[in-house]
A and B are shown apart, each in its own frame.
Chain A
């Protein structure tokens, strides 16, 4: 399957341009279709990293287990996996108008040894009254940063609160989105999304059977039927001269089935998660190029359900009430240079098992600083420093630092300037 997809990509990159060249003579091929080549862009992200800690065996109690060693939790993005040089990702985007009714957008996420359809969706062109429909696999419009692609983020990685609630790829699901733009003088957009709900960090559908090896008894954890996740959101914005304020509220609710296999045993969570988010961005434009922007998101996760562990005969009542936020201040001080500070904090971490508080640590945090240089809209060099205080080993906090030099390059179709 992967090989077939690779071949398609190779065909698109190499063969289409050649056929375009061949057809420039004009009428030599009356059935030539080369004018219909979609817009293509390609993004590459590489970095050089110094980190003063080998990331194996650590956990974020209540959020990420030791079995999921940090940064390697997912087959997908591996941002800054290793000390030294990293190819973080390559991304191939194709987009075109399909017909009078649809536009299609795709984003293929490529790693050194993997291929992933990060996004592939159509949007409608003809719906009246300010409605729009999006169908396929795409990044949810939950929150502010979730729908943005990695190369438009202000820092190299997602905020901590996104990583612990949605994973390193954010909330990226199959399903549809119905959105509506209100006919008001200020910006107001409402949306509803229905998703399969396979996000392995907070949701998931698959059930399992847990076998007690001592006596052979089994506990069956029933799976859930998709679609298992929905979101609703509202976004609004007003301008006060050159001050732009954008705010949003989001909610995601769905089935949770998560199976973790740690070194010694398997354990399973089954229940429902509700995630609420509040975001605000304030941007002040100083002139054509310079701006100051403050962006904050607060996200809260509630889970109610059962906890099963291999070896035990029945499930335990399990609930967690967790929240966190990030705040980033960006100053673009010239056409080519930006600098930014970010503060990440997971401020609440209440996990109750059969009503008993697990007393997990509550102030996991990270401080980040970056400065970047953007000589054109197609290249960016960024230096970032992270002071990390969120990884634990045997109950002890391990503080570590990361210094990262990142190069992000794009070619082909002109990308949009993000707001």
Chain B
């Protein structure tokens, strides 16, 4: 009798798995990806971001609830470039969902479509938290957003051919809007072209490159290693010699070292959002870039 009940309960639970949701269930490692999926997929996809926009993308706590989300997903889209190496692999393995395993149709690594910059010539952890394929924070170059929005459109069509028309149309609308925005941002930031900039972490390299700003260095001596007094003093000297327009800081690292350099050199300190949801104003990918530009001009 007991056994019969157990079997019935088990079959009941199993049948839950076959309740097919009509919409494509998409998981995105970061918020900016989720927003792009929503822009292209609209009501035909149900997209869930995993990481919180206001936290350090390198250190996402691998919550057990992520396993439940992965278990049910049709598509997992990651930033790639090893940004998720510390938190996605173990939960993906535990999710028992073959659809979204790397190499299968439901897994998409965006970085693999991008030409990475700062590809290290020498791979050694003596250089800190190195990413062998290059700097992974590629989405802050607006050109790269164009590339990956096309990649996401193709993937959505691949998984849900019946909405090909809608995905194509929404993508086209997004691209038109984005191009218009790009020329706005270019014009607004023109006056900083060729100017020197210092960053706390190598977060905004793609952005700086895209808007033709020069990077003098970072306050972190090597990626992922907090600033030492010696390195800070060296950077202050570099800034004093060469001059700089901004010290760029992100929303999640302690601001103390950047504030110190700001006081010592008088160079303006700007805290820039790096992802959708990292500050209140950045509600989507467009307002994220709007807000970065607004803060630089302020």
Give me the interface of A with B, judged by CB distance under 8 Å.
103, 123, 125-132, 179-189, 235, 237-239, 244, 246, 283, 285, 287-289, 291, 335-336, 375-378, 411, 414-419
Contact = CB atoms under 8 A, between A and B. Distances in A.
B225 A376 contact: yes
A283 B63 CA distance: 10
A413 to B, nearest CB: 9
A417 B59 contact: yes
Nearest to A283: B61
B contact face: mostly helix, strand, loop, or mixed: loop
Nearest to B62: A419
A285 B62 CA distance: 12
Given A187-B68, A416-B87, A129 B98 contact: no
Contacts of A246: 64
Interface string B82-105: 100111011001111110010000
A289 B56 CA distance: 8
Nearest to B251: A288
Interface of B: 13-14, 16-17, 55-56, 59, 61-65, 67-68, 71-72, 82, 85-87, 89-90, 93-98, 101, 125, 128-129, 224-226, 252
A272 B82 CA distance: 48
22 contacts: A127-B98, A130-B71, A180-B96, A182-B16, A183-B16, A183-B71, A185-B68, A187-B65, A237-B68, A238-B65, A287-B252, A288-B59, A289-B56, A335-B226, A376-B125, A376-B128, A376-B129, A414-B82, A416-B87, A417-B62, A417-B86, A417-B87
B55 A288 contact: yes
Contact of B61 (A123, A126, A415, A417): A417
Residue among B56, B94, B225 facing the most chain A CB atoms (10 A cut-off): B94
A181 B55 contact: no
A414 B90 CA distance: 11
Given A335-B226, A336-B226, A378-B125, A127 B96 contact: yes
A414 B125 CA distance: 11
Contacts of A418: 62
B176 to A, nearest CB: 36
A239 B50 CA distance: 12
A130 to B, nearest CB: 5
Contacts of B67: 181, 187, 189
A237 B65 contact: yes
A239 B65 contact: yes
Nearest to A129: B17
Given A179-B96, A183-B17, A183-B71, A125 B65 contact: no
A244 B61 contact: yes
A319 to B, nearest CB: 26
A5 B72 CA distance: 41
Contacts of B225: 375-376
A404 to B, nearest CB: 26
Given A285-B61, A377-B86, 5 more contacts: A128-B98, A237-B65, A237-B68, A414-B82, A417-B86
A415 B87 CA distance: 9
> Taking each of A186, A187, A239, A285, which has the highest tally of chain B beta carbons within 10 Å of its own beta carbon?
A187
A276 to B, nearest CB: 18
Contacts of A181: 67-68, 71, 94-97
Contact of B14 (A129, A291, A414): A129
Contacts of B128: 376
B96 A131 contact: yes
B72 A183 contact: yes
Contacts of B65: 186-187, 237-239, 244
Contacts of B90: 416
A132 to B, nearest CB: 4
Contacts of B87: 416-417
Nearest to A179: B96
Contacts of B63: 237, 239, 244, 419
Nearest to A288: B56
Given A187-B64, A414-B85, A287 B55 contact: yes
Contacts of A188: 68
Contacts of A131: 96
Contacts of A377: 86, 129
A111 to B, nearest CB: 26
B68 A123 contact: no
Contacts of A126: 98
B86 A414 contact: yes
A416 B62 contact: yes
Nearest to B125: A378
Contacts of B62: 416-419
Contacts of B72: 183
B96 A130 contact: yes
B252 A237 contact: no
A128 B93 CA distance: 14
